Amino acid sequence: MSDTLQKEEQIKASINAAFRSAKVSIQRKGRIIVEFRGGILPAFASYLKEYLNFKHLSMISGVDWPEDNQFELVYHLWSYEQSIHVMVKVRLDREAAKTKTLTPLWEHAETYEREIHEMLGVEFEGHPNMRDFILEDWDDLPPMRRDFMTREYVDEVYEWRKGREDAQDVRQTIAEQYNTEVPNFNNEDK
Amino acid sequence: MKEDWGKEAGNIIARWARKHSLWVLAYGTGCGAIEIPPTMTSRYDAERFGITGMATPRQADVLLITGYLAVKTLKRVIRTYEQMQSPKYVMGFGSCTINGGMYWDSYNTIKRLDDYLPVDIFINGCMPRPEGVIDGFIELQKLIDSGQANGWKKYQDNLEWYRTNQKKVIKNWKMPDYNW
Amino acid sequence: MDTSFNLWILLMPFVGALVGLTYMGIGRRIIARVQHRYGPPIFQNIVDVLKLYSKKTAITHGVMFHLAPTLAITGTISTLMFLPILTGPHGIYLFSFKGDLILLMYIMVFGCLAMALGAGQSGNPNSAIGVSRGLSQMVGYEAPFVIAMVTLMVQFNTTSVHDIIKAQDSFVHWNMFQSPFAFIAALFAFLGFMGNKPFDVVIAPAEIASGPPSEFGGKYLALMQTNRGMFAFVKLVLYVDLFMGGAANFVSLLAKTFFFYLIPLFVGIVNPRFRTEQAITFFWKWPTVIGLLGFLMVIL
């Protein structure tokens, strides 16, 4: 067991030596989780990229933890040489969610950060382009926050067509609305 | 009655021509777009009914909305629809256009297409197969023949109502007005 | 100036448009059969045009935009007027005694230029791309076409279409066989003229919407489709006149023009699309060289 996890242990040791505040745990072979706190994320990311050869940023995902009053950003990094996947988890305060951008290191981080900004409301300092990404002119709470009540918002903004809830025939509803007869979809008489 | 026969004959010819030549602008927003290529190509060959795909809204007669519409795409669809030349028809394709389908509680997709655009015919199913699409086109041809497919007139007459609905979901209404 | 002359002047544009559109319908049907489809009815294109005429039209982009379809169809009709449609004792000559081959070559481009102006004013980027591609490609295929025409003029020492037709009095004297090099060059230019598959980068469906006419709809598009049908007929009749010795009656005219229509159609079915610069390189290489070869043979 120990010889198979040799590379992972090496990486863990070097991260621990360089960054005291990082809590490294090895989940299984080829997968390392780093829980990192503090505002020097770009320095840590550039350390991983330049010294430990984690050249590839696969994606950034955001998680909402209203119980802890925190957002969690997960940076997925991949090393081609060692075939190891590192997840860097960063916790941010929910009230003033702010962190530094990683666009100087990976240009494509721009898209992920824009999306997280739009869906969770996290600010990325130094991001070149924080415009709307998927949603247009959204003025409510960011929709992927867990305290955003989707069902209430939908009830308020959109109209339901009757027949959805009580398993009624939708064809009947449409026909009643336009004063037409219910089309016959029985193919036997055709 | 007698003096109207020329107009009447013209109407009959126009209706017949409209019925047999439907140029479709397939607005492939949702998963339904994948059903259009088999409908148009060798297997189901919609061209034998005079149904052809068209690339620009100016030349198209039928706006085929395949699947769900997010608020952002709804804005584009309205622009596309208003650029089309009347008589124009809208086909709602799939459950998503009827009552939201599997996106029934999504915060960003509209639930009832006919609140925003005058839909002439719905094809239900998730997804409707190419047979269903061709069946829908034939029903539309019947509606055109009997003069019931006049969603474009309804849109002109009830423009205020449609605009109110559209502006309720599209918050930033920056669009040119198209005269027709 | 008798009544039949006036009648034909009035009727010929309609006949031309009908024949051209029907040929296109047959072409669609043939393409469908090659692709193992059933295909639309033969008269589908005529139905399409009727439908387009019945549409309401409310598009405004400027004066030239409104004029373009009209100018294009004017160019086509005037080309048609200077063509001998039928020859022989029951011939339909229209105004062709007053014009010659040089006038025809000149006036044939008129419609394309009008279209280019109108499409340019529509402000649609797809139109602009289509126009630039179309004009570049025209520079390509005009070269072998002009060489072939000059070869014919030098060969018969005349610019009159009538004299060229008269010289081809029997089957063996057709220019097809008499000056094959000019014929081959002109045939390649014809592929470019018709805008079928290898050289359809101008319209390029699914790539730049529908090219120059992207912004034209309704009645404008109807005029343009009519123009397309009529222009196809004009080109077919011109080629029949020049290389097949004209036609004495409508049956032989239809047979000969249909033969010419099938050539670009079948070439188009089996070939993918050329890019603009590939098309120009192609036109300036083989057809031009072959044309010049024929020209040299005629001079020497």
Q: List CB contacts of B105: < 8 A, sequence separation 6 or more.
A: A150, A151, A154
Task: Sort out which chain C residues have CB atoms less than 8 A from B86's CB and list them.
Answer: 55-56
Asked if B58 lies within 8 A of C217 by C-beta distance, the reply is yes
Answer whether B47 sits within 8 Å of C32, measured CB to CB.
yes
Chains in contact with chain C (at least 3 beta-carbon pairs closer than 8 A): B
Contacts of B21 in chain C (CB under 8 A): 44, 47-48, 50-51
Closest to C246 measured CA to CA, from C179, C171, C193: C171
- Cβ pairs bridging A and B (under 8 Å): 56
pLDDT in tens, chain B (180 residues): 566 888 888 888 888 888 888 999 888 777 888 888 898 888 888 888 889 888 888 888 899 888 888 888 888 888 888 888 888 999 988 888 888 888 888 888 888 888 888 998 888 888 888 998 998 899 899 988 888 888 888 888 988 888 888 888 888 877 776 654
Provide, as residue numbers in chain B, all residues whose Cβ is less than 8 Å from the Cβ of A150. 105-107
Q: Which of the listed CATH numbers 3.40.50.2300, 3.30.980.10, 3.30.460.80, 3.30.200.20 matches domain A6-144? A: 3.30.460.80
- Position C1 scores a pLDDT of 56
A185's tokens: 């979809």
Is a pLDDT exceeding 80 seen at residue A49?
yes
Residue ranges of domains in chain B, CATH in brackets: 22-169 (3.40.50.12280)
The pLDDT of residue A81 is: 87
Give chain C's end-to-end CA distance (angstroms, integer). 43
Residue A190, pLDDT > 50, answer no
Tell me the pLDDT band of A164, cut-offs 50, 70 and 90: low
**Of B127, B55, B60, B57, whose CA–CA distance to B92 is shortest?**
B127
Q: Is B179 on the interface with A (CB under 8 A)?
A: no
pLDDT at residue A189 tops 60: no
Structure confidence by residue, pLDDT tens digits, C10-47: 888 898 899 999 999 999 899 899 988 888 999 999 99
B149/A contact by beta carbon, under 8 A = no
What pLDDT score does A163 carry?
A: 66
Asked if A150 and B105 come within 8 Å (Cβ–Cβ), the reply is yes
Test the B interface: residue of C28, C51, C60 with most B CBs within 10 Å: C51
For chain B, the chains sharing at least 3 beta-carbon pairs closer than 8 angstroms are A, C
SS3 content of chain B, % helix, strand, coil (to 5): 50, 15, 40
Question: Residue B123: helix, strand or coil by DSSP?
Answer: strand
Q: Which helix (H) or strand (E) holds B89?
A: strand B89-93
B122 and A CB contact within 8 Å = yes
- What is residue B177's predicted lDDT score, i.e. its pLDDT? 67
**Which chain B residues have any C-beta within 8 angstroms of a chain C C-beta?**
10, 13-14, 17-18, 20-21, 23, 41-42, 45, 47-50, 54-59, 61, 84-87, 178-180
> ipTM value of the model?
0.86
- Say whether residue B154 is in contact with chain A using an 8 A CB cutoff: no
CB contact under 8 A, B48 and C37: yes
Q: What is the mean pLDDT of residues A65-91?
A: 89
- Return the number of other C-beta atoms located less than 10 Å from residue B172's C-beta: 11
Q: What confidence tens digit (pLDDT) does each residue in A52-61 have?
A: 888 899 999 9
Work out the percent of chain A whose per-residue pLDDT is above 70. Answer: 90
Residue B143 neighbours by CB distance under 10 Å? 17
For C298, half-sphere exposure in the C-beta direction (CA atoms, 13 angstrom radius) is 24
- For chain A, the straight-line distance linking the first and the last C-alpha, in angstroms and rounded, comes to 70
Q: Are A28 and A83 in contact (CB under 8 A)?
A: no
B31 CB contacts (<8 Å, ≥6 apart)? B66, B67, B94, B127
Contacts by A161-168, CB closer than 8 A, 24 or more apart: A161/B98, A161/B99, A161/B100, A161/B111, A161/B112, A163/B99, A164/B99, A164/B100, A164/B104
Residues A137, B170: C-beta atoms closer than 8 Å? yes
In whole angstroms, give the CA distance from residue B138 to residue B127: 18
Running DSSP on this structure, what letter comes out for residue C123? -
Question: Which residues in chain C are closer than 8 Å to B42, comparing Cβ atoms?
Answer: 35-37
Q: Which of A151, A159, A174 sits opposite B111 (nearest CB)?
A: A159
Q: Quick one: pLDDT band at residue A74, thresholds 50, 70, 90?
A: very high
Q: Pick B171's closest partner by Cβ from A139, A159, A177.
A: A139
Distance CA B168, CA B75 (A): 12
C with A: touching (≥3 Cβ pairs within 8 Å)? no
CB contact under 8 A, B107 and A171: no
Q: What is the 3-state secondary structure (H, E, C) of chain A?
A: CCCCCHHHHHHHHHHHHHCCCCEEEEEECCEEEEEECCCCHHHHHHHHHHCCCCCEEEEEEEEEECCCCEEEEEEEEEECCCCEEEEEEEEEECCCCEEECCCCCCCCHHHHHHHHHHHHCCEEECCCCCCCCCCCCCCCCCCCCCCCCHHHHHHHHCCCCCCCCCCCCHHHHHHHHHCCCCCCCCHHHC
Q: Do B14 and C51 touch (CB under 8 A)?
A: yes
3-state secondary structure of B91: strand
* Ranges of chain C whose pLDDT falls below 50: none
Q: How far apart are CA A115 and CA A130, in angstroms?
A: 9
B with C: touching (≥3 Cβ pairs within 8 Å):
yes
pLDDT tier at A45, thresholds 50, 70, 90: confident
> How many angstroms separate the CA of residue B156 from the nearest CA in chain A?
17
pLDDT tens-digit series, residues B74-83? 888 888 888 8
| Closest approach of C90 to chain B, Cα-based (Å) | 35
Domain boundaries, chain C: 3-299
Contact residues on chain B for C28, CB-CB shorter than 8 A: 47
